[in-house]
Amino acid sequence: MKIQNKKLLMGMMSLTLASVALGGTVLAAEDTKQVNSSIDEPKKDSEPFIPIGVINKALAEKGQKAISASEVPTKAQVNKALQGVIASKDDPEKVIDLGNGHKITISVSGTSAPAEQNNVYSVSPQSIQSVTAKGEIKYTAGVDIFTMSITQKYSYDDKITKITQQDKKPSTSYGSGFGWKGSDSEAPYIYEIDDTAKDAVGNGQFKNIIYGKYGCHIELRFTATGNYYVHDSYFN
């Protein structure tokens, strides 16, 4: 009986130790996840959106005066400033002044021309127009920090107000400096609204080995009337 009780006791102790070890592993993993998460984006809405060290390094390289952290807009201020901003074909550039040289510029550009008349949707000569539309969002602080653009090619028939053809997916491009590298965080895609309007959607990221990463989202709506505009775009 004593031997059996001893085995039972040792078995229970082993189980307890295993549970503690497992718990420690889980906690360690959660701690690591929290640390990584804190690196990946500005820690709090009240903290500078761009690390002050990055800004001052960029300014120094341009021969400009250094600034303090209080002069850098916060994440909350950046997000609030971007709410509801639209840049359209008729109003192609919106500049949001965040103060102290910090600006966000949202813009669109494009070209259009009569398309080849070999589309079954065409109801009259020269009714089909071919469009290349481009949308861009840029963050500057005396110098360019982040830039993301998205481009979509499509055709529409202005007689029946219908998008007749489009590239299967938009193309994206990135510009950045000071150690950041821009890339897609997921493949750009087209959100189908209906035959008269669709959204070209891009999600990107800017990574820096020291400062972590920032996300960027852009939506370029294109329509069967030949209009196109950037909306619902932001850095995060």
The DSSP code sequence of 142-184 is SSEEEEEEEEEEEEEETTTTEEEEE-SS-EEEEEE-TT-EEEE
Is 90 exceeded by the pLDDT of residue 193? yes
Q: Is residue 191 part of a domain?
A: yes
All residues at 6 or more sequence positions from 63 whose CB lies less than 8 Å from its CB, including other chains: none
| Range from 57-61, 85-89, 91-95, 113-117 carrying the lowest mean pLDDT | 113-117
Cα separation, 193 vs 38, in Å, equals: 36
Cα separation, 16 vs 10, in Å, equals: 10
Is 60 exceeded by the pLDDT of residue 31? no
Q: Is residue 61 part of a domain?
A: yes
Q: Is residue 108 part of a domain?
A: yes
Q: Is residue 2 part of a domain?
A: no
- Residue 76, domain extent: 52-116+126-235
Select, from the ranges 80-84, 151-155, 178-182, the one with the highest average predicted confidence (pLDDT).
Answer: 151-155
**Which of residues 81 and 10 earns the better pLDDT score?**
81
Residues 95, 101, 105: CA angle, nearest 5 degrees: 20
Global confidence as pTM: 0.75
Q: Is residue 19 part of a domain?
A: no
Q: Is residue 192 part of a domain?
A: yes
The tally of domains found in the chain comes to 1
Q: Is residue 134 part of a domain?
A: yes
